[in-house]
């Protein structure tokens, strides 16, 4: 389909709660349209709906439920659970569709809606276009007859199912008995399940961000504020720390000295571990254009290949399927382990890191520092109106910066898929040059908005 998406961005629909497009009306029509598109065949049709802890989830959840019921789909409500848990449940319950209500790492004022197909993978751009087309059409004549309306029910054991699946991804016979772990759940979707998994595997757990009130998700904590985790690891004299984002599909870690371990280091560690044990498929992994050049060089030295794709974990997942790979992710902490999950899962990725620490009986600092990253700087410039990247003056400034690098580094400038931001990233051997280049480009972009 050639139609452009307007509602859907890099990761579903996202916006300020109770403001177009993130309104109950949009959610209702989305439920109706997606319900109509995925009611195929004569079986009873089912959709699983989960959410994080934002106040606006109470508005969007019933609106989506009403839309799906009106389209003839049964609904299973599971409450606050990580995004990867919804993907897992969609497959295990043989549902036709999965829905996660979350704006991930954004503040509570925002919310979003992510959709999963019956295979547990995020929908393709083409399918999202089909849904948008239906949403703008007259669907009244296609709604279910009174006798064919769906029903809604709560799935009380959903959290327990995910907990057991997460524990099942940890190598058999290993335990976390000698580790003290700080886990920051960002007052988000994993606030119950993540500490439980670590505790049941034997760890001493210091839980943070586990008191959601509808407003405090990601506030001063979680993977978007990793400094908090790092300080708490040092304060509690823990062996390491785990920081999740609001929907727990993203992971950052801290070693015992309170130094940050990003997604690139985590990918390098898992790749080396799996390659050594014969578990890594297709001799490489998939990452995005944002991953550090140091990761690429590290993998090359190990005889492994880094395949890059555009930003967005669903694009990473699609490329993994295309290449037959079972490891991929993003520097920001989305890590996809396709042997266990169809989307990024922060907790499962952390468990793979913990397995290596236990197997090697070494500290997190010794285990997780896989390579020295090249100097890399990323800054964001907020804009209003048309994208400043279409401005000829900005295009010229970017071309000049690329000529200065002359192959000795990378420059990446792109629009965010979830916010009105221009992301400016540069990396190279000369840290001072990279800093000046990013600052000058940011200033030019800001003056053009």
Q: Which residues are catalytic?
A: 104
Phi, then psi, of 187 in degrees rounded to 5: 50, 35
């699609």: which residue's tokens? 318
Q: DSSP readout, 171-194?
A: PTT---TT-EEEEE-TTSTTTTHH
Picking from 410, 255, 243, the residue whose alpha carbon sits closest to that of residue 332 is 243
Report the distance separating Cα 118 and Cα 152, nearest Å: 18
Q: Identify whether the C-beta of residue 130 lies closer than 8 Å to the C-beta of residue 115.
A: no
> For the chain, first and last CA: distance in Å?
32
In the numeric block, which tokens belong to residue 399?
């071309």
Cα–Cα dist 300/297, whole Å: 5
Structure tokens at 388: 């400043």
Q: Which of 184, 198, 202, 182 is nearest to 256 (CA)?
A: 182
Instruction: Give how far the C-alpha of residue 320 lies from the chain's centroid of Cα atoms, to the nearest Å.
Output: 16
């Amino acid at each position: 389909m050639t139609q452009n998406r307007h509602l859907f961005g890099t990761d579903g629909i996202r916006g300020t709660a109770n403001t177009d497009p993130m309104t109950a009306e949009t959610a209702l029509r989305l439920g109706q349209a997606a319900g109509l598109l995925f009611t195929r065949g004569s079986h009873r049709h089912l959709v699983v709906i989960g959410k994080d802890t934002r106040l606006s989830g109470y508005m969007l959840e019933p609106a989506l439920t009403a839309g799906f019921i009106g389209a003839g789909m049964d609904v299973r409500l599971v409450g606050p659970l990580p995004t990867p848990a919804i993907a897992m449940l969609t497959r295990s319950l043989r549902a036709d569709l999965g829905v996660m209500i979350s704006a991930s790492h954004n503040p509570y004022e925002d919310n979003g809606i992510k959709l999963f197909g019956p295979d547990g993978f995020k929908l393709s751009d083409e399918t999202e276009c089909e849904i948008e087309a239906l949403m703008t059409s007259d669907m009244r004549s296609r709604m279910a007859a009174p006798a064919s309306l769906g029903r809604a029910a709560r799935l009380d054991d959903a959290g327990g199912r995910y907990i057991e699946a997460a524990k099942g991804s940890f190598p058999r016979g290993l335990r976390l008995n000698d580790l003290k772990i700080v886990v920051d759940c960002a007052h988000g979707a994993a606030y119950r399940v993540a500490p439980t998994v670590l505790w049941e595997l034997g760890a001493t757990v210091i839980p943070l961000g586990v008191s959601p009130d509808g407003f405090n998700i990601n506030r001063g904590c979680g993977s978007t504020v990793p400094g908090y985790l790092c300080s708490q690891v040092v304060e509690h004299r823990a062996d390491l720390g785990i920081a999740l984002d609001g929907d727990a599909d993203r992971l950052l870690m801290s070693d015992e000295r309170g130094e940050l371990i990003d997604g690139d280091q985590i990918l390098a560690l898992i790749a080396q571990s799996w390659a050594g044990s014969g578990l890594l498929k297709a001799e490489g992994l998939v990452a995005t254009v944002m991953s550090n050049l140091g990761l690429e060089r590290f993998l090359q030295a190990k005889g492994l290949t880094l395949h890059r794709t555009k930003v967005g974990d669903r694009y990473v997942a699609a490329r993994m399927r295309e290449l037959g790979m079972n490891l991929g992710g993003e520097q920001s902490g989305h890590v996809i382990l396709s042997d266990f999950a169809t989307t990024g899962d922060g907790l499962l990725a952390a468990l793979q890191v913990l397995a290596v620490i236990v197997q090697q009986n070494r500290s997190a600092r010794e285990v997780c520092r896989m390579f020295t990253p090249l100097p890399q700087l990323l800054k964001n410039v907020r804009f209003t109106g048309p994208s400043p990247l279409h401005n000829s003056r900005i295009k010229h400034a970017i071309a000049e910066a690329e000529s200065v690098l002359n192959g000795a580094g990378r420059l990446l400038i792109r629009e965010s898929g979830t916010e009105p931001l221009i992301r400016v990233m540069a990396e190279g051997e000369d840290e001072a040059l990279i800093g000046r280049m990013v600052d000058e480009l940011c200033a030019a972009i800001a003056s053009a908005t």
